[in-house]
């Protein structure tokens, strides 16, 4: 599955506007650089997994809202997982992604 960064940017911008936030406010909440969000929203910058996670937390949603256009708001478990992922390096994130893909395929 190839990511559509133009759509990801549009979804992020839409969520930001729904919350009535300015770009600089989201950048501060997500601890990302000045004007970086503008680049992401216009598909001029490609966000890392960590940045997507930070934006999801800052915009009170889940990363899947940005990546595939749907959000899960039931409970707070996703925030706990997002916080765990936030502190991981690239190698750990790759392992976590592999595990989550495997887990999502399981019939529990």
CATH (domain of 22): 1.10.260.40
Range of the domain at 95: 5-105
User: How many other β-carbons are positioned within 10 Å of the β-carbon of residue 91?
Assistant: 8
Model confidence over 29-74: pLDDT tens digits? Answer: 999 999 999 999 999 999 998 899 899 999 988 888 888 877 655 5
The answer on pLDDT for 18 being more than 60 is: yes
Q: What percentage of the chain reaches a pLDDT higher than 90? A: 46
What are the tokens at 23? 């770009």
In the chain, the number of structural domains is: 1
User: How many other β-carbons are positioned within 10 Å of the β-carbon of residue 47?
Assistant: 22
How high is the pLDDT of residue 74? 53
Q: Are 23 and 38 in contact (CB under 8 A)?
A: yes
């Amino acid at each position: 599955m190839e990511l559509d960064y133009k759509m990801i940017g549009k979804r992020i911008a839409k969520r930001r506007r729904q919350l009535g936030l300015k770009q600089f406010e989201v950048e501060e909440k997500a601890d990302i650089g000045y004007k970086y969000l503008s680049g992401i929203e216009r598909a001029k910058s490609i966000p890392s997994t960590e940045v997507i996670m930070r934006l999801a937390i800052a915009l009170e949603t889940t990363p899947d809202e940005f990546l595939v256009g749907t959000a899960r708001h039931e409970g707070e478990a996703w925030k706990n997982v997002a916080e765990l992922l936030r502190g991981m390096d690239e190698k750990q994130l790759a392992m976590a992604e592999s595990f989550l893909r495997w887990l999502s395929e399981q019939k529990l």
